[in-house]
Chain A
Amino acid sequence: MFILPGLAVVLVFIVAPLFMSMFNSLFSWNQLIRGSFVGFGNFKRLFSGYPYRDMFTNALKNNVTWFLMTMLIQNTLGLFFGYFLSRKVPGHAFFQRVIFLPVLFSIVAVGYLWGLYLRPNGLLNAFLALIGKKSWQQPWLGDARFATPAIILVNIWRWVGFPSLVFMSAVDNVSSECLESAYLDGAGEWTVFSKVVVPLIIPSITIITVLTIIGSLNVFEQIYTMAGLDGSPNFATDTIGTLFYRTAFGSVDAGSPEIGIGSAISVIIYLLTFVFSLLTVSGNKKKEVEA
């Protein structure tokens, strides 16, 4: 009885749309009207023919870039921030707030403001000019080489506080006896961190990794606010989230909605999220150790 309200929310907002997407992906669509049953025809169009295959591959590649950069930069930073904050370095309470504060900011506001900072005559290029590095100035969001990394870094700036907080509380929960025994045995700070702390916080690492997978496969708002729905420039920032939205709902420039193919993309997003999250959880389960 107690779980009923929560269950209802999950059923209505997660399970029902999942099955609706699966259902819709099996039909042809004439504009917004469902047509005949086509089986896996929409999946076939998505994977076999130009332009959807090329667009999907390009978008998925960008999702992978999101995952790798977020894992390497954000979560590594988060782990170190969390560790040092839990070691109660001087000013840790202040740093804890500073690091976590951007997590509270609206993603739309962050995207809009950083979009302004990254303009050719924006804050970043002005700063580079100020420190005498004018040659480093770039049209950050207008150059295919920099656009995706720039948006990812902005997202990391906003979100690094979250893994930091999770890792901080995980390290706080590592029993002091374990740490003291390690120090008594002559282990240095690095050895304590890598050989004692990390194995004991594997459950937290698993959670953050799974959340990163989910976040990287579903990334949408950051692209939408900073590069637009068309994944500008020249699809350099396109992800399967923006591709799905554009395909399923259409737009002024993208044309009529292709709900069948859009639904097929959403099913792929569900599957990828599910499979990779499952693999991560089961893979990390083996690495967990009891304190």
Chain B
Amino acid sequence: MKKRMVLVVSLILVCSLAGLFANGTAEAGQSAKVSKTELQFWTWRPEDVEFYDSVIKDFEKANPDITVVQNAIKNTEYNTVLSASLSGGSGPDVFQARAYGGLFTLSDSGFLEPIEKWMPEVKKFPAAALSSATDSNGVLWGVPSVGQTMLVYYNVDTYKKYNLQVPKTWDEFLHNCKVLKDNGETAIANGTKDGWTVETLLGVVGPTFYGGNDFYNDVVAGKTNFQDPRFIAAIEKLGELKPYLPNMYTGVSYTDMQASFIAGTATHFLGGSYEAGYFTAQNPDLHYDIFAVPGLKTTDPARVSVYADMSWAINAKSAKKEAAVKFVKYLSSVEVANRLINEMKMVCWTPGSDASKSPFIQKVLQLQSEGTPYVFLAGFRFKQPTGSQLFQANGQGYMAGQMSAADVAANVQKGIATYYAPFQK
């Protein structure tokens, strides 16, 4: 009996020691792992997970002491999820941040790390890009990454089929649309079910008619307002597109628009330069090109709206700031910028990035010579009700024939004037 007891106790001891040893080995393994810094990295681009995975892989190869865990959250939920986690004192170390008002919501709340002290070289970025991430106190809160341009895509094969030329005037554009419609084609893919696509229409068509930077600078300074006849005339130009939009266009959603252009059933698509990568990925055989909406005369400048789309930001509460800075520096490098240009067809702000291998980006840059800030996003998407929200809703009403262009302008003006000091004089 005694022997058996000794045997049992010995077995327990051996097992315990084995357990301890095993634990020790595991802990040693863990400590080896712990010595690697793990960064949490969030984006709002589930579509680009593969791209960023490959970027992360290259970064980790060059920085074996850092691992990056990517978490892509749906675009429409991103702001809420990010704000909630940052408010709770957690959240990612590095993340995609919105530009303009969307970024300042986080910086004003103290959630962001000022960038310039970590990356003084960021000052070499174009001023227009830096302005999208610099608050009213002159503090830079993110490294600008990509910019977008609002333009018209057209299907080159359909243009050839009906012997159409790239329009040099607004009337030529409408004429092309008429020819297409008369031949049973859907001339323009755009619908108005999703409010933000109505703002997109304005971003593409508006600047040529309201006068680009002249109007933008005046309205931001409060020297004029949205009831300016130039702005009302620009809204009315959207109305001239109605006969050429798809059947029952008020019910056509963004994804329907994309699908019809990608499938080649619609000839024009009024949208942002961010669409190109998706169009090509979905239909590599789609032969498309771009132009800016032309003016009334051939001599009128064909303007485009331009905006900084996102920047890379660092969580102020991150305990791994040095690793985070390393990763942000890599994300903002020429190497990643060139990949964004060539693989994702994005216009990058990084100085030294090379667009020579991408004819599409070169053309976008060419159109940007007549660029003007995307009016509501850059100037009036801060407080509620934003210019975007007001225009999107009222624009839907206008496109549905429920209100006039003057009513849209009046409602936008009235909403923004509730908080925008230059409009309250």
Contact = CB atoms under 8 A, between A and B. Distances in A.
Looking at chain A's contact residues, the main secondary structure is: loop
A16 interface: no
B281 interface: no
Contacts of A118: 251
A258 B418 CA distance: 14
Interface magnitude class on chain A: 35 or more
B418 A49 contact: yes
Interface string A223-267: 000001111111100000000000101111111111000000000
Contacts of B251: 118-120, 138-143
A252 B98 contact: yes
Contacts of B385: 51, 55, 254-255
Contact of A252 (B76, B109, B383, B414): B76
A256 B382 contact: yes
A50 interface: yes
A137 interface: yes
A33 interface: yes
B195 A253 contact: yes
A50 B199 CA distance: 22
A255 B384 contact: yes
Contacts of A232: 193-195, 393, 396
A161 B139 CA distance: 57
Name B's interface SS.
Answer: helix
B319 to A, nearest CB: 21
Contacts of B196: 252-253
B249 interface: yes
B192 interface: yes
A73 interface: no
A282 interface: no
Interface in A117-153: 118-121, 125, 137-144
Nearest to A228: B194
A31 interface: yes
A233 B109 contact: no
B344 interface: no
A119 B253 contact: yes
A51 B400 CA distance: 22
A33 B194 CA distance: 31
Contact of A233 (B105, B193, B388, B389): B193
Contacts of A137: 248
Nearest to A248: B80
Contacts, number: 146
Most-contacted residue by chain A among B75, B79, B251, B394 (CB, 10 A): B251
A256 B109 CA distance: 11
A142 B253 CA distance: 9
A234 B102 contact: no
A119 B248 CA distance: 9
B108 A31 contact: yes
Counting chain B CB atoms within 10 Å of each CB, the highest count among A50, A142, A249 belongs to A142
Q: How large is the interface on B (under 10, 10 to 19, 20 to 34, 35 or more residues)?
A: 35 or more
A76 interface: no
Nearest to B199: A253
Given A50-B414, A139-B250, A233-B250, A251 B79 contact: yes
B71 interface: no
B89 to A, nearest CB: 12
B386 A51 contact: no
Contacts of A143: 250-251, 400
Contacts of A138: 248, 251
Given A229-B76, A234-B400, A255 B193 contact: no
Contacts of B247: 120
A139 B252 contact: yes
Given A50-B415, A230-B195, A250 B250 contact: no
B195 to A, nearest CB: 5
Given A50-B415, A232-B195, A255-B382, A250 B108 contact: no
Contact of B386 (A50, A119, A253): A253
A113 B325 CA distance: 44
Contact of A33 (B109, B195, B390): B109
Nearest to B376: A253
A20 interface: no
Given A32-B106, A230-B392, A233-B193, 10 more contacts: A31-B106, A118-B251, A119-B251, A120-B251, A138-B251, A143-B400, A230-B393, A234-B397, A247-B384, A249-B80
Interface of A: 30-33, 49-51, 55, 118-121, 125, 137-144, 228-235, 247, 249-258
19 contacts: A32-B106, A51-B414, A55-B385, A119-B253, A120-B247, A120-B248, A120-B252, A140-B251, A144-B400, A230-B392, A230-B393, A233-B393, A234-B394, A234-B396, A252-B79, A252-B102, A255-B386, A255-B389, A256-B101
Listed from nearest, the 7 A-B pairs whose CB atoms lie closest are A139-B251, A142-B251, A142-B250, A120-B248, A255-B386, A139-B248, A32-B109
